[in-house]
Amino acid sequence: MTVIQVFHYEQRMSVTLQCPGYPEDTLRSLADRLPCRETQLKSLLSLMGQPDQYSYPSFFIYGHRATGKSHVVLSVMKDLELPHASVDCVECVSSGLLFHQVLSAFFGPDAAALLPRCPSLSDFVRLYKQMSSNSPATQTRYIILDRAERMRDMDFSLLPALLRLQELVNDNVTVILLSEIVWEKFRPNTGCFEPLLFHFPDYSKVELVQILSWDHHPSYTPELYASYINILLGVFFSVCRDLRELRHLAALNFSKFCEPLEKGEAKESDIHKLWKNIEPHLQRAMQTVYLREVSSVQWEQQQMDEKEATTLRVLSAHAHIELPYYSKFLLIAAYLASFNPARTDRRFFLKSHGKIRKTNFLKKHEKTSNHLLGPKPFPLDRLMAIFYSVVDSRVAPTASIFSQISSLVTLQLLSQVGHDDQLDSPKYKCSVSLDFILAISRTVGFDVVKYLYDFL
Amino acid sequence: TCTTSQKGCFVFKSASKKRKRQLGVGGYLVDDSDDNGSDRFRIGQKLWETVQMNTEVIQDQLNKKVLDSLAEFIKKHGLGCSSDVWRQRASEIPTAALMLGVNVPDHAMTFRSLCNLLQDSVTPFVVSVHAKECAGLLIQKVLEQLMGSGVSVDEEKEDDTALLQRTPCTISALCQWYKTVTKKCIQVSPERKENLTNNDLPQSLPVVVIFKDFEAFNSQVLQDFILICSRYTQELPFVFIFGIATSPSAIQHRLPHSVSSLLCIEVFHSLSCTQHLASVFDKLILNAQFPFKLSSRVIQVLVGVFLYHDFNVQNFVKGLQFSMLEHFNSQPLSLLCCQKQEALLSAKTLSKQNVEQIRHLPSFMRYVETQEPQEQVRLLTNDEHVKEVCQTLLKNLHKYHKNYYPILQCLHSLTSSLPKFPLGKHIRELHVSCIEKNLWETEEYDSALQLLRILAKDELVAALRKCAETLKSANTKRMQNALQQLEDFIGRLETLEDSSGNGVISAKMEYQKTDLFQLQKTLLEKESRRTKRMNSFEVLRSQVMDFIDSLVREYLTPAEFQPLNEVCYYSSSGVLRHHPFYYLKVTDHSFRLTRAQLEKQERLTVFQLAKNAFVDAGY
């Protein structure tokens, strides 16, 4: 389906979109502003019903990131001028903040100020009832809770109560939950009122092209921009379907795409030439900008500077960490302790260990690679024992050695595990990768692979 | 082992503390058998302050570049935000990842100066947060710091704090506050705004949040904070600064893509701690102006602690200061450890005890042994004569130092580019081996000289020029002489024309058709000819090397052989090594405790406070 056809299709849709109780021209402009979400818009409107009618008590809208959930709902609310309170649950460290925001959106900040210091759910319901009896709802009031998955971490009674808030406060109010995960993950043990589930599917490639073509540059034709978007999606669609990311990338790279046009080297119709120009550039962008290895500002500057030899140092390029000498050995010892079974320590660190072959002391569950299983916790004593045997000089067990362990923990190179017996024998895990430890041991001239059970 | 050290580290204050404190400022160094304690205290305190000042100056200088570029970054984002429409749409928060290295205690100073710089030149809205302070209450902390500080409108301060108690702890509250404050800022003081942002819009005053220790933050808290802030980027121009100790990839490890895509990260590198140490070393130890010296063992202990244990420059400076305390405390003759004129003056007025102590110095005894018998008797009996000799010896010691450091630097600049660094990569290693023993008797020195003897001409000239450069700054007569000779050598090297004999031979060889045997013969011939006859460059080069060698033998003698070196050199590394200062961090803690207590009572100098801490700890 070409872009032009899509436009026609959509226009047909917007004509058919009409709901009683809402002004028709607003609806039409709304449909124009929400491309590729006509079906969702229509169902949402029909679920909401006429503004003065009671609506269903609670909706649950889910779908992946950037599928237009909040955008559709909030545009509907704003354009149709419905009374609503929009709350992002990330912000609500306590339920009190949520109540505060809802009350101040519906009844003004004065009402919200009436809330006690640490409001409970019943405080909120009482206050809501009191307020709504003074100013009963003429239209359905909507409470929109974005990132609703955060509600699960709050008070356990909050979610069931909000789902049937309509009943509790006896007012025309509807709660809309927006989330990226499915309802099954929300349902509390005790059971609750089931909201209406409503799915926003991912955009297809055609839809993405259509939406991305919307913000075309004013000085170029929409057709050119659409072909640019097609090229962009050709590169990025396989790794990223997030509309926001794609939009960001489209905006970042468009100036590069237009470069031949501005220099007069190509015409707008020379799509192939333009493609050849932009394609390697986009490939590079996929490795750097998309992963945020290079900030967008640096990327732009690089485009302006037009240096072909990439002098930009990406984030992961400086993975090198400078550590004090003994810290390096402590880290190596921790790595060995994490990835070697404790029984094998004799084999590696005792001088006269005899002839113990790998097959002899191999237990069944140890046949799988320890590196696949991940690091195992080890006690401090074992770490120190290995440390003294790997470090080549005599080291006194001073406080500065022990304080290095705790600084390694703060640097997140080691992590402390377990809660019991923290004082006498704390347990640690080594949380660095094999590559990292190889690099570290190379700087101190220590062959770590020789001491790893997995590589025996 | 761990448990025992943990159990044994409680420090009890001695019962006699009160009595000691009554001794007064200089009293700690007063011995019953000695009367110059207060003088030593004065000298020590002066030196202590010099160390303190110098380290701060060094830190400022080293940080200046990175701090300036950070301020520039923040300014740029504060101003240019509105033009980048698309970035606002993606709600990216400009973020500076400041790489600081693992020497965390050194960071405090950097952040303090960063805060000051930003508040002076960019924006009053600077918050710095520490992971420990805000486990789950990051927003509250940020709000408290911003709104509680009553930023620029002083008269509203009480209202602000009252407001904070009532307003909910959200970023939207901060938004409201920000709007009112920026509005007030314009109304109250338009001239102030002008010098802040060059007549720009008030909205462009960024709100800077500094995360001092990024790694230590709970990643969930951090993610939430970033998510919330990104919702408000239109109203509140946030700029983040992450203080990262490990590597920039820590950001990607801590934050998922959905969160890190909200940041626009730029990496800034601060100077590495080893460079920092090198500049501290240059300023405080390799400096003839600084009279207090460390012996090779002490330097090795201090540098060892730095390299092997903590990468902590502050700790290094503390160690230096501690050895200074020990020196002035334990060595009565440290009275003479000061600038030349002052030392000569006090040498004239030495007490009888001091003269006796001088006679007992090992280096002075060695000196006496080298003298004529008559002179020996005089030195052992006549006090006045000792004082006079002492003055000349002090002069010599100062001269020795003045010549020592330039030559050391010369030798370092010559040898630091050699393959495998036979004399060490850093000047401190060279310094240690020079003051420890006769450098020219070591194998390393021989191999270094051998390598120097095969340097190419342009390399040699470049290295010699560097030497000349360092010698220029030295202002003793002998150094000027050396400089003249060196420049003479450079001139001769440059005027030398290339000998082209070799080229002719090889050209000839191309024409001849030879078998293998003949080729071997000609090559051998050529080789023998070369060994027989050195060309003029090689002659000159060996002359230069002999000259350098003579300089080294003359000036880089170990300090131990200098009479009266005990006055300036602190050498008891054992005391330092076994001192709990390095053994247990707890001592540091008690130091801080004492300090807090004392500061309540009276305003004391840092020197005295440190002394108190050591005395209290029972040393």
User: What is the domain-level CATH number for residue B91?
Assistant: 3.40.50
The overall average pLDDT reported for chain A is: 82
A325 to chain B, any CB pair closer than 8 A? The answer is: yes
Does residue B555 contact residue B282 with C-beta atoms inside 8 Å? no
Same domain, B251 and B328: no
Predicted pLDDT of residue B245: 86
Distance of CA B67 to the CA centre of its chain: 18
* % of chain B surpassing 90 pLDDT: 2
Q: What are phi and psi of B99, to 5 degrees?
A: -85, 120
Size of interface A-B (CB pairs under 8 A): 140
Q: What domain range includes position B174?
A: 79-271
B258 to chain A, any CB pair closer than 8 A? The answer is: yes
Is the confidence at residue B188, as pLDDT, over 80?
no
Q: Encode burial over B429-450: b for 16+ CB neighbours within 10 A, e otherwise.
A: bbbbbbbbeebeebebbeebbe
Residue predicted with more confidence, B288 or A12: B288
Q: What is the pLDDT of residues B210-269, one digit of tens each?
A: 998 888 888 888 898 898 888 888 888 888 999 988 888 888 888 888 888 888 888 888
Q: Give the amino acid at A130.
A: Q
Does residue B287 contact residue B405 with C-beta atoms inside 8 Å? yes
Contacts with B, A 364-383, CB within 8 Å: 380
Whether B519 is in a domain gets the answer no
Same domain, B397 and B545: yes
Does residue A169 contact residue A34 with C-beta atoms inside 8 Å? no
Average confidence (pLDDT) over A135-164: 88
Residue predicted with more confidence, B130 or A302: B130
> Are B1 and A397 in contact (CB < 8 Å)?
yes
Which of A293-302, A425-434, B47-56, B237-246 is predicted with the least confidence, judged by mean pLDDT?
A293-302
Measured CA to CA, the distance from residue B192 to residue B557 in angstroms comes to 60
ipTM of the complex, rounded to two decimals: 0.85
Q: What is the pLDDT of residues B396-407, one digit of tens each?
A: 999 999 889 989
Contacts with A, B 8-47, CB within 8 Å: 9
B453 to chain A, any CB pair closer than 8 A? The answer is: no
Closest B-chain CA to A65: B258
Nearest by CB to B249, from A90, A315, A384: name it: A315
CB contact set of A397 (below 8 Å; sequence gap of 6+): A384, B1, B2, B5
B135 to chain A, any CB pair closer than 8 A? The answer is: no
Whether B616 is in a domain gets the answer no
Same domain, B243 and B376: no
Residue predicted with more confidence, B103 or A225: A225
Nearest by CB to B90, from A91, A248, A411: name it: A248
Highest mean pLDDT (candidates A165-169, B169-173, B492-496, B609-613)? A165-169
Average confidence (pLDDT) over A416-429: 78
pLDDT confidence of B29, banded at 50, 70, 90? low
Whether B16 is in a domain gets the answer no
Is the confidence at residue B521, as pLDDT, over 70?
yes
The first and second tokens of residue A257, run together, are 């795409």
Cα torsion angle, B535, B539, B542, B547, sign: negative
Residue predicted with more confidence, A14 or A49: A49
Which of A43-47, A240-244, A300-304, B147-151 is predicted with the least confidence, judged by mean pLDDT?
B147-151
Closest B-chain CA to A383: B2
Same domain, B413 and B489: yes
Does residue B576 contact residue B323 with C-beta atoms inside 8 Å? yes
A347 to chain B, any CB pair closer than 8 A? The answer is: no
Same domain, B265 and B360: no
Domain stops at, among B235, B253, B271: B271
Whether B248 is in a domain gets the answer yes
> Are B249 and A97 in contact (CB < 8 Å)?
no
Residue predicted with more confidence, A127 or B5: A127
A238 to chain B, any CB pair closer than 8 A? The answer is: no
Which of A311-325, B429-443, B479-493 is predicted with the least confidence, judged by mean pLDDT?
A311-325
Predicted pLDDT of residue B153: 36
Whether B428 is in a domain gets the answer yes
Average confidence (pLDDT) over A268-279: 82
> Are A397 and B101 in contact (CB < 8 Å)?
no
3-state SS assignment for residue A23:
coil
Whether B529 is in a domain gets the answer no
Is the confidence at residue B603, as pLDDT, over 80?
no
Residue predicted with more confidence, B582 or B373: B373
The first and second tokens of residue B575, run together, are 């005391």
Strands B263-269 and A58-62: unpaired
Q: Name the H helices within A350-419.
A: 370-373, 380-390, 399-410
Nearest by CB to A296, from B87, B224, B254: name it: B87
Chain B neighbors of A322, CB-CB under 8 A: 101-102, 272-274, 311
Is the confidence at residue A145, as pLDDT, over 90?
yes
Distance of CA A274 to the CA centre of its chain: 34
Measured CA distances, A167 to A108, A111, A142, A163, A164 (Å): 23, 21, 14, 9, 6
Does residue A73 contact residue A178 with C-beta atoms inside 8 Å? yes
Counted residue by residue, chain A has a size of 456
Same domain, B84 and B201: yes
Average confidence (pLDDT) over A86-113: 87
Residue predicted with more confidence, A252 or B527: A252
- Domains of chain A listed by start with CATH number: 47-199 (3.40.50.300), 205-316 (no CATH), 325-348+372-451 (1.10.10)
Same domain, B140 and B261: yes
3-state SS assignment for residue B571:
coil
Predicted pLDDT of residue B260: 83
B248 to chain A, any CB pair closer than 8 A? The answer is: yes
Is the confidence at residue A337, as pLDDT, over 90?
yes
Measured CA to CA, the distance from residue B616 to residue B13 in angstroms comes to 5
Nearest by CB to B90, from A65, A244, A313: name it: A244
Chain A neighbors of B247, CB-CB under 8 A: 318-321
pLDDT confidence of A378, banded at 50, 70, 90? very high
Residue predicted with more confidence, B510 or B291: B291
Is the confidence at residue B24, as pLDDT, over 80?
no
Does residue B353 contact residue B33 with C-beta atoms inside 8 Å? yes
Contacts with A, B 181-240, CB within 8 Å: 213, 215-216, 224, 227-228, 231
Our CA angle for A283, A284, A289, nearest 5°, is 110
B168 to chain A, any CB pair closer than 8 A? The answer is: yes
The conformational region for residue A401 under phi > 0 = left, psi -120 to 50 = alpha, else beta, is alpha
Contacts with B, A 184-213, CB within 8 Å: none
Predicted pLDDT of residue A200: 92
Chain B neighbors of A318, CB-CB under 8 A: 99, 247-249, 267
Nearest by CB to A90, from B172, B227, B252: name it: B227
Is the confidence at residue B158, as pLDDT, over 60?
no
Same domain, B558 and B413: yes
Measured CA to CA, the distance from residue B123 to residue A297 in angstroms comes to 22
Cα torsion angle, B33, B46, B53, B612, sign: positive
pLDDT confidence of B584, banded at 50, 70, 90? very low
Is the confidence at residue B504, as pLDDT, over 70?
no
Residue predicted with more confidence, A118 or B600: A118
Predicted pLDDT of residue B242: 92
Predicted pLDDT of residue B22: 42
Same domain, B250 and B280: no
CB contact set of A178 (below 8 Å; sequence gap of 6+): A61, A62, A69, A70, A73, A144, A145, A146, A147, A148
Same domain, B396 and B479: yes
Chain A neighbors of B89, CB-CB under 8 A: 247
Q: Name the H helices within B371-476.
A: 373-381, 383-415, 427-436, 443-452, 457-473
The answer to whether the pTM exceeds 0.90 is: no
A108 min Cα distance to partner chain B (Å): 15
Contacts with B, A 392-451, CB within 8 Å: 397-404, 407, 410-413, 423-424
pLDDT confidence of A332, banded at 50, 70, 90? very high
Predicted pLDDT of residue A453: 84
Q: Exposed, middle or buried by CB within 10 Å (0-12, 13-18, 19+), for B63?
A: buried
H or E stretch covering A98: helix A95-107
Domain stops at, among B247, B271, B295: B271
Provide the domain count of chain B: 2
Whether B85 is in a domain gets the answer yes
Does residue A62 contact residue A182 with C-beta atoms inside 8 Å? yes
B134 min Cα distance to partner chain A (Å): 14
Whether B510 is in a domain gets the answer no
The overall average pLDDT reported for chain B is: 76
Radius of gyration, CA atoms only, chain A:
31
Same domain, B318 and B251: no
Measured CA distances, A116 to A42, A100, A123, B160, B432 (Å): 41, 10, 8, 21, 70
Same domain, B257 and B292: no
Predicted pLDDT of residue B581: 54
Q: Edge-to-edge strands of the sheet including A84-88?
A: A84-88, A141-146, A173-179, A58-62, A196-199
CA-based max dimension of chain B? 102
The conformational region for residue B420 under phi > 0 = left, psi -120 to 50 = alpha, else beta, is left
Does residue A407 contact residue A327 with C-beta atoms inside 8 Å? yes
Closest B-chain CA to A326: B308
Closest B-chain CA to A325: B308
pLDDT confidence of B417, banded at 50, 70, 90? confident
Chain A neighbors of B2, CB-CB under 8 A: 380, 384, 397, 402
A255 to chain B, any CB pair closer than 8 A? The answer is: no
Give which of A86, A87, A88, A93 to mutate to test B binding, by max B Cβ within 10 Å.
Answer: A93
Q: What is the pLDDT of residues A236-259, one digit of tens each?
A: 888 888 888 888 888 888 888 888
Average confidence (pLDDT) over B23-34: 51
